[in-house]
Amino acid sequence: MNSRCIAFRLLNLYKQELPVCKNKSQFLSRYLTTNSQTQLNTPTHRFAIKRYVLLLGVPLSSALFYRLSTKDETRRKHRIAVGSIGRVTRAVLVGIQSFLDQQMSILFKREGSDEYIAALHECRRRNAKRFANLCIDAGGVYVKIGQAFINLPEVVPLEYYEELQILEEHALRREKGEIDTLFKRYFRDPPEAVFENFNRNPIAAASLAEVYEAQTKSGEKVAVKVQYSDLRERYETDIATAWMLDELHDDLTLELDFLHEARNAERSRESVRHLDYVYVPKVHWNLTKKRIVTYEFVEGITIDHVDELKKQNLSLKD
C-alpha cells in the first residue's frame, strides 16, 4: 500500500469521527462539548465529582441536621461553651503579650534608673489597656475580675487602677428580645404584663445586670434589676475553662443569685431600721426571682458625685 492510499484512508477515518459542522464555530462548539462529556465519563473525573460532593455535602448536611434536631436553648448553650474557649485563649494570649512587652521594655536598662522606671510605667499603661479591653470584650465574669482589681488600690499598680476604672460603669449588650425571654421564663409574661408600666431604657447598668424603672399594679414606683440572660451559663463555662477564676467562684455564685441579694437587703434593712439617716429600699418579693429582683424606687446620689453632694448641703466628712 503506497503512501497516497494510506493518507486517503486516514482522511476518511478523520471525517467519520468528527461531527458534521457547517462552519468553524459550530465545529468548535460540538468538538468541545463532545470532548468535555468524554472527560466527565472517565473514572478519574467521576471520582473527583464524588469527592467534591462528599466534601460539601457532609458538613452542610451535618449543620442542617444539628439545626433541625436541637432546640434553640441547647444551641445557645453550645455557642456559649465554644465562646468560653475563645475567651480563655484570648486571655492567655494577652498575658503572653504583656509579659513579652514588659521584658523587652526593660531590656538593657539598669534596674532602678530613671530610664528603667519610665519604661516600666509606660509598659504597665499599655498592658493595663490590653487587660481592660479584654475584660470589656469578654464581658461578664471577666468584667468582675477587672472590678476586683479596682478594689485593691494598695496592691494593684496605679496604671491598672486608673485604666480599669472604665469597668465600673460597664454593661454588656443585650440581644433583641432578651428581657422578654427572661421574664417569660420566671413570670410567663413580658414585663409590660407583669408591671403597670415598664420603661425599657435602663437607668443604670453594671457587669451583671441592668436596672429599669417601673410601676407596680398597685401604683408603686420600683427599680427592677434584670440579669443578663446568658451570664450564668457563661460564668459556668468560664469557671470550668479558666483556672484563674477559681478564687472568685464562691463570691460570684452568690452574686449571681438575686434571691440571696434580696435576703441580704432585708437583713440590712432590719439592722439599720433605728437609724434615721440610713435607709435601705424594701424588696418586692412577689416580683423577685433568682435573676430578677424588684426594689422600692429611691432617689439618691452616688458617693463619688461630690459636686451633687455639696449642692444638697451634705457633709462629706459624715
Angle at 175 between CA 229 and CA 214, to 5 degrees: 70
The predicted pLDDT at position 51 comes to 63
On the question of pLDDT at 245 being above 50, the answer is yes
pTM: 0.58
Q: Which pLDDT score, from 0 to 100, does residue 250 have?
A: 62
Please identify, among 146, 167, 188, the residue that sits at the C-terminal boundary of a domain: 167
The fraction of the chain above a pLDDT of 70, given in percent, is 63
Write down the pLDDT at residue 232.
66
Expressed as residue numbers, the domain containing 143 is 72-167
Q: What is the pLDDT of residues 197-225, one digit of tens each?
A: 999 998 887 767 889 999 999 999 999 99
Higher pLDDT, 296 or 277: 296
Does one domain contain both 190 and 298? yes
Q: pLDDT of 4-55, one tens digit each?
A: 555 555 445 444 444 455 454 554 455 445 554 555 455 565 556 656 655 6
Whether 248 maps to a domain, the answer reads no
Number of domains in the chain: 3
Amino acid at 9: R
Do 186 and 299 belong together in one domain?
yes
| The domain boundary residue, chosen from 119, 137, 167 | 167
Return the minimum-mean-pLDDT range out of 156-160, 185-189, 248-252.
248-252
pLDDT digits (tens, 9 = 90+) for 95-123: 999 999 999 998 988 988 999 999 999 99
Could you tell me if 84 and 102 lie in one domain?
yes
In this predicted structure, what is the pLDDT of residue 254?
Answer: 76
pLDDT at residue 280, rounded to an integer: 93
Domain end, chosen from 20, 36, 69, is at: 69
Give me the pLDDT at residue 66, please. 45
